[in-house]
A and B are shown apart, each in its own frame.
Chain A
Amino acid sequence: MMEDRAHEELVRVEHLAKRFPVQKGLLDLVFSGREQQWVHAVDDVSFTIRRGEVLGLAGESGSGKSTTGRLLVRLLDPSSGRILFDGEEIARKGQEELRRLRVRMQVVFQDPDSSLSPRMRVGEAVAHPLKIHGMATDRGVREAALSLMERVGLTPAEFLYRKYPHQLSGGRTQRVVLARALITNPEFLVADEPIAMADVSVRAMILELLRKLKDELNLTYLFITHDLATAKYLCDRVAIMYLGRIVEIGARDQLFRSPHHPYTKALLQAVPVPDPTKRRTDPVTKGEIPSAITPPPGCHFHPRCPFAIAQCRQARPPLKEIEAGHLSACILD
């Protein structure tokens, strides 16, 4: 059964968009004629994730990668577009139906300490989703939590079950958050920068654990990160976002060995390499990611792009297939 479903699509996102109104200030109240401004956080984004796959969503801050992740698990409501989870359209589902779906899709955030209640014991936190969803008896809940704690390396589980989050190290609290996300036996996990705040050795441990759990529990991930070295390590496919749009998407080797979009190239070139004999010598791309309220027209990247031509300012370049499964949104492709 599992074999048959291995390559089927689990998540499909079509023309997804999310815009936020820009908060009005005092001046806008006085001059009420001023037009409402919008931040286009996610701007017509489409992709699919196959069952058992890890799709990386990479980009700088303000690229819309986290908003995309939140839309997928419906922590935010999309402005337009479709989200299909296992064939079912979920973009406009109500809260009751979403509750049922959340058993199957979970999310893990960057900061484990602010994701855990300081007053709830670790074991209870891990077991909590089972109670919310009424999935097990009291004893069953405890046993399920203990067994999952063992699996994520929270050992001795019996001992740690009664601890409070502040009594654990940062690496362990991130394991608690992972265990809590996995207790309902979900198929899909959105991991939003789960290692960004951790120490080097803790990062490595969490990455190894994510990889192991994926294989053992047949999970599918959307892995959101600003660190391309990490994306390369964990992901099967990677999408690069810039100002709300996907500018390039492809299999890991396609994207890292033959990047096409000038922005992807700029990002890759800027990644520091832990090897002093291979220091970057070329200067990096100038400038910083512009405001999402008034993004540059046409291709958003053109003001910073070394290859920009007049046409780049005129129209948004569509994502075009360069090779099977590898798409790039650049007029020069």
Chain B
Amino acid sequence: MAEAILEVKDLSIDYPIAIGTVRAVRGVSFSLYEGEVLGLVGESGCGKSTLGLSILRLQRPPGRVVQGKLLFHGRDILQMNNGELRRLRGADIAMVFQNPLTSLDPLERIRDHFLEALAVHEPSFSRQQGLRRAGDILERLGIERQRLGEYPHQLSGGMRQRIMIGLGLIHEPEILIADEPTTSLDVIVEAGFIDLLKSLKEQYNISLILISHNLAMVAEIADRIAVMYRGMIVEIGSAVQIFAEPLHPYTQRLIDCVPNIDVDSEHLATLPGSPPDLVSPPPGCPFSPRCSRVMEICGREPPALTERGIGRAVACWLYDGKSSGGNSP
């Protein structure tokens, strides 16, 4: 297997709030390999966005990392000083958010967005060089060079989303983190955007973390998928394994909830019970109160994410999981 360029080890993030502590991410571990697309899927509140932001130490205050390591080529991002962090953001790891309209400045031309982003890490670049680089990127994204002179409102939604990606790519980062990049796009534009991500992966050999609640979209592009529930990764494996043979009862239910246009299904699965309590989670497996295959041990002890074959792991007592040792702080 290729080299792991990012290793997340036993990461936990807490949000202290008035009524207690929201444990947004709890003991999450995974690796990102060179040139792969890792899908991070789950429903609202599962911690996937917080996890994505925390990789660049951008989680919203008052959220803070209470334990764990974030190793980028072996260097711990959590130990980096401001200078190192500035170098990391944008140049090594870039992030693309879901709403391009709020991320682009309506009063600035597209070219100024690029020049500004370039100036952060490449102050030696002349304006001419910068415009050439920006124009090259735009063409690779399927947008004419001339549009550099336009303002965001003159572009369509799909173009704006591609501009966001282009801004993320300007320093040719090793990792691109995209949080729900297609939520505001229509289906044909979304499909075109997925094609674009695929070709960028080939052209730049970039590694991608794709955060989304849209399982069908993730299935179109991800090499591996990590499923999150209540701040934990409950299952991780290749995209084919996850969809063909989901092991965790939550993954199984979640997949059966998605209407598939290729299948003449009569019924969708539903998840009984309420979404999990973020402040005081059950002591055992976070999914146990809603699980149809719950056993006595599930409510007592949280199962650890345990390897089940190569590149495959699941946190569930049905598979003789080991205990993760309780919710020790």
User: Residues of A with Cβ closer than 8 Å to B?
Assistant: 60-61, 169-171, 199-201, 203-205, 207-208, 226-230, 232-233, 256, 266-280, 283-286, 288-289
Contacts and interface: CB of A to CB of B under 8 A. Distances in A.
A201 B270 contact: yes
Contacts, number: 127
A106 B269 CA distance: 27
B269 A60 contact: no
Contacts of A275: 219, 243, 260, 262
A105 B319 CA distance: 51
B259 interface: yes
Contacts of A269: 191
A280 B254 contact: no
A274 B258 contact: yes
Q: Which of B43, B158, B253, B262 has the most CB of A within 10 A?
A: B262
Contacts of A271: 187, 191, 216, 261
Interface string B248-277: 000001111111111001011111001100
Q: Which of A208, A232, A274, A278 has the most CB of B within 10 A?
A: A274
Interface string B148-167: 00000000111000000000
A226 B183 CA distance: 12
Contact of A274 (B192, B213, B243): B243
B19 interface: no
26 contacts: A169-B275, A171-B275, A200-B215, A201-B253, A203-B257, A204-B259, A204-B269, A229-B260, A233-B265, A266-B188, A267-B188, A269-B191, A270-B190, A271-B216, A272-B214, A272-B216, A272-B219, A273-B219, A273-B260, A273-B261, A273-B262, A275-B219, A276-B240, A277-B243, A279-B219, A288-B157
B216 A273 contact: yes
B261 A288 contact: no
Contact of A60 (B186, B194, B219, B262): B186
Given A61-B186, A256-B261, A288-B157, A204 B268 contact: yes
Contacts of B219: 272-276, 279
B294 to A, nearest CB: 17
B217 A204 contact: no
B243 A276 contact: yes
B262 A278 contact: yes
Interface of B: 43-44, 156-158, 186-192, 194-195, 213-217, 219-222, 239-240, 243-244, 253-262, 265, 267-271, 274-275
Nearest to A61: B186
A200 B240 contact: no
Contacts of A200: 43, 213, 215, 254, 257-258
B187 A228 contact: yes
Given A272-B217, A276-B240, 15 more contacts: A201-B253, A201-B254, A204-B259, A230-B259, A266-B188, A270-B187, A270-B188, A272-B194, A273-B261, A274-B216, A274-B255, A275-B260, A278-B262, A279-B220, A285-B188
Contacts of B239: 276
B191 A280 contact: yes
- Please list the 6 inter-chain residue pairs (A to B) with the smallest Cβ-Cβ separation, ordered nearest first: A270-B191, A204-B257, A272-B216, A60-B186, A276-B239, A201-B271
A284 B192 contact: yes
B148 to A, nearest CB: 19
Contacts of A279: 219-221
Q: Which of A204, A226, A277 has the most CB of B within 10 A?
A: A204
A274 B260 contact: yes
Contact of B186 (A278, A283, A289): A289
A173 B194 CA distance: 33
Contacts of B157: 288
B275 A274 contact: no
Given A226-B186, A273-B262, A284-B192, A199 B274 contact: no
A233 B214 contact: no
A269 B191 CA distance: 9
A52 B149 CA distance: 54
A280 B198 CA distance: 12
Nearest to A273: B262
Nearest to A289: B186
A227 to B, nearest CB: 8
B271 A229 contact: no
A287 B253 CA distance: 36
Nearest to B269: A204
Contacts of B215: 200, 274
A47 to B, nearest CB: 22
Contact of B267 (A201, A208, A230): A208
